[in-house]
């Protein structure tokens, strides 16, 4: 993994953010690898999507100011930011951008009480946007909000009707729809 990401960084002179999502790739980029990659000039951050706060804290502590640590797991994004992470690369923000912005801004400012209150209204959305494989639920939700037309391309399949009301209710709870 180190050699691959270093080769890409050496070949492409743009700022790059690593993405660690073992649930999608079946490979977990270990902290030691991230720390080594933090020394590569145009690697500027990592989207850490494990949801493991001990891992996130280790990366924040060991990487220091070399790279920014972002959450890639909305359900634990608040906790990561309160540990010193720099933000969240979010699925939920596609459906509730204002609320996610306000939650992140409060967390980054250290206002844990305000951030937790906002995040509480988003918890159902964080969960229900993953009732099926991402991005199936988020595309359905965006369609329900009139942000995109219907239809979905293979290999994705339509969002199962049995989940519609749960996701719709979490959208209401988050203030994304009325």
* Token pair 């967390």 in the structure block, residue: 107
Catalytic residue among 2, 6, 19, 57: 19
Q: Which whole-number Å values give the CA distances from 47 to 22, 56, 130, 136, 175, in the listed order? A: 12, 10, 18, 21, 26
Supply 178's token pair. Answer: 């009325």
Is residue 47 part of the annotated active site? The answer reads: yes
122 DSSP assignment: H
| Nearest in space to 75 (alpha carbons), one of 25, 118, 125 | 125
Q: Which DSSP string do the residues of 68-97 spell out, in sequence order? A: EEEES-HHHHHHHHHTT--EE--SGGGT-H
70 belongs to the catalytic site: no
Tell me which residues are annotated as active site: 19, 47
């Amino acid at each position: 993994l180190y050699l691959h990401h270093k080769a890409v960084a050496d070949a492409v002179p743009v700022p790059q953010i690593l993405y660690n999502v073992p649930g999608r790739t079946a490979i977990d980029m270990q902290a030691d690898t991230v720390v080594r990659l933090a020394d590569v000039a145009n690697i500027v951050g990592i989207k850490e999507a494990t949801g493991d706060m001990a891992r996130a804290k280790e990366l924040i502590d060991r990487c220091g100011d070399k790279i920014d640590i972002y959450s890639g797991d909305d359900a634990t994004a608040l906790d990561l930011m309160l540990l010193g992470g720099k933000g969240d690369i979010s699925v939920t923000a596609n459906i509730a951008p204002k609320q996610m912005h306000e939650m992140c801004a409060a967390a980054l400012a250290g206002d844990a009480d305000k951030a937790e209150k906002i995040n509480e209204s988003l918890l159902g959305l964080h969960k229900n946007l993953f009732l099926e494989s991402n991005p199936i639920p988020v595309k359905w939700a965006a369609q329900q909000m009139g942000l995109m037309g219907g239809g979905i391309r293979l290999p994705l399949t339509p969002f199962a009707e049995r989940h519609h009301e749960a996701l719709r209710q979490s959208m209401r709870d988050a203030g994304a729809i009325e």
